[in-house]
Chains A and B, each alone.
Chain A
């Protein structure tokens, strides 16, 4: 299976509130809040670290969850946010504009 890379879209607004991320999509003005696991994935979405590595090294280390189950949930979550234009997903590393990290 090829690696999946994820990056935060620059078109969104985002802020952490009490450890959970609020995200506003500029495209359709939809407001999202992410739970702590999703927030961690969002924060690690640097375009360079493969999703599988984020899940294995960060999510499984901080939350009690089996790697396979965590990866399935993460892929579903990532595809959902990508559908709203909030995350970019690619099978190659993604360059993020400086200042948007």
Chain B
């Protein structure tokens, strides 16, 4: 067991929220075509409110703090928030598009010793990147921001969300990351809108395209191991928890709403009305999420992929049932291994049955 796994287990055993993502705003200077957020300000927390929440998070034992948005630099008081967070000795990651990072911002981020800065880069080609952000010149400005951060010794990770508009560009973004002396992470998942609207999912990669991504050794390492047929789930696996959401991690919106995860929009309380720790300990919603093990999932527990699936309970929730399958993850499991999931088989059987019913109900005129 690695040190990080040991720490996570200890936090889990003691009910400690080890990691929190706090979005300081949903406002953004970019308008990414796939974004799941509403960018209007519906009354975001003031810096004083956020600093009070940070005090509570530190007291609760939170160590890993991700400050994100929206675009964090849309807040003029962002550095007040960040300075307070660092004075509380959080391990801080900042997510930004780096468009507004100039010399001053880069120097301050370095002085405040943030752990790293994650920058969304969709393509190494301006016409593709800017076509996704809908902000002319955004790739050029983001790269300029990254260069300044690196010049000040700030660690940078390029986050490359893949979708139909930039499929095939990940090698170019990886090369760009190498040129900028930055890390690289890829995410082939498009997330439904926070209000449940799934229209943006149509921009996601198709199974065949995912299959190609999962067979790129630069991305997955050992392809044979990554794409191997799943091991049969044993009793221990069925007792495992689906992920850290609600167990050792949670998400807080700019309006103070608490959710199990940024990708799991189950309202669980609000820090403007309750103390964070009261929500963390006593929220019915969080406690329900915590009560679910893999063995409790009616479809997934019997799936051949149960032992290796990356099922996201938040995506399952957005699909209608937090105990149900996440079809997006079923697609990934299928793309990796070529083996259908239990959910896919059920859907195929259901579609076939619907076909039969339609024949039976055909009017005889």
Contact = CB atoms under 8 A, between A and B. Distances in A.
Contact of B113 (A10, A17, A22, A31): A10
B63 A17 contact: yes
Interface in B52-73: 58, 61-63
A43 to B, nearest CB: 12
B89 A14 contact: yes
B10 interface: yes
Interface string A2-31: 000000001111111110001010100101
A99 B10 CA distance: 28
Interface in A35-59: none
Q: Which of A14, A26, A33 has the most CB of B within 10 A?
A: A26
Contacts of A33: 3, 6-7
A22 B63 CA distance: 8
A16 B61 contact: yes
A100 B85 CA distance: 11
A29 B113 contact: no
B4 A31 contact: yes
Contacts of A29: 115-116, 155
Contact of A17 (B11, B115, B155): B11
Interface residues of B, number: 24
B90 interface: yes
A24 B155 CA distance: 14
Interface string B1-45: 001101100110010101000000000000000000000000000
Given A13-B90, A24-B91, A100-B87, A18 B115 contact: no
B11 A15 contact: no
Contacts of B155: 29
A48 to B, nearest CB: 19
Nearest to A13: B91
A18 B10 contact: yes
| Dominant secondary structure at the B interface | mixed
Contacts of A26: 113-115
B3 A17 contact: no
Nearest to B3: A31
| Dominant secondary structure at the A interface | strand
A34 to B, nearest CB: 12
B14 A18 contact: yes
Contacts of A16: 61
Q: Which of B7, B11, B14, B90 has the most CB of A within 10 A?
A: B7
B3 A15 contact: no
Nearest to A28: B155
A13 B91 CA distance: 5
Nearest to B92: A13
A11 B61 contact: no
Q: Which of A18, A22, A29 has the most CB of B within 10 A?
A: A22
A29 B157 CA distance: 13
B123 to A, nearest CB: 28
Contacts of A31: 3-4, 7
A15 B58 contact: yes
A101 to B, nearest CB: 9
Given A15-B89, A26-B115, A31-B7, 20 more contacts: A11-B113, A13-B90, A13-B91, A15-B58, A15-B62, A15-B91, A17-B11, A17-B14, A17-B16, A18-B10, A18-B16, A22-B63, A24-B91, A24-B115, A29-B116, A29-B155, A31-B4, A33-B6, A99-B87, A100-B87
Interface of B: 3-4, 6-7, 10-11, 14, 16, 18, 58, 61-63, 83, 87, 89-92, 113-116, 155
9 contacts: A10-B113, A11-B113, A13-B92, A15-B62, A17-B16, A17-B61, A18-B16, A22-B7, A33-B3
